[in-house]
Amino acid sequence: MIHVTEAAAKRIRALMAKQGVVEGGLRVGVKAGGCSGLSYIYDWAAEPRDDDQVFEGGGGIKIFVDPKSYPFLKGTVLDCDENMLGQSLVFKNPNASTSCGCGSSFGV
């Protein structure tokens, strides 16, 4: 399960509206790279792929996760962090044993 907080759902809806995305969802995955070994990747997708797992957040936000990434993301909470520099999506991943300072990569 991937959990989406209300703050993250609100941010995702705002980004979708700003970019003119009216349907589909956010494809979230993992790839090799980054200073801790694995990096989070995400982009808009019009629909899930046949083998994707689909999760729903507040306001009908859909999250699509491919089967290779899911074991690394299982139980993750997608949240939104607000600071002086603006807002950003944050992955709170219980599978990560290490993470980089900026939070964009992790190790297991």
CATH code where residue 11 lies: 2.60.300.12
Domain range for 91: 3-96
Provide the number of structural domains found in the chain: 1
**Cα(30)–Cα(28) distance, rounded to whole angstroms?**
7
Residue 101: its pLDDT value, please?
A: 64
Select the more confidently predicted residue: 106 or 56: 56
Residue 104: its pLDDT value, please?
A: 63
Residue 29: its pLDDT value, please?
A: 95
Q: Tell whether 73 is covered by a domain.
A: yes
Q: Tell whether 107 is covered by a domain.
A: no
What is the average pLDDT across 5-12? 93
Q: Tell whether 15 is covered by a domain.
A: yes
Residue 51: its pLDDT value, please?
A: 97
Residue 88: its pLDDT value, please?
A: 87
Q: Tell whether 35 is covered by a domain.
A: yes
Q: Who contacts 104 (Cβ-Cβ below 8 Å, separation ≥6)?
A: 34, 39, 40
Rounded to an integer, what is the distance from CA 101 to the centroid of its chain? 18
Q: Tell whether 103 is covered by a domain.
A: no
**Cα(101)–Cα(36) distance, rounded to whole angstroms?**
10
Q: Where are the alpha helices (DSSP H) in 30-104?
A: 70-73
**Cα(106)–Cα(12) distance, rounded to whole angstroms?**
22
> Among 13-17, 68-72, 81-85, where is mean pLDDT lowest?
81-85
| pLDDT at residue 10 tops 80 | yes
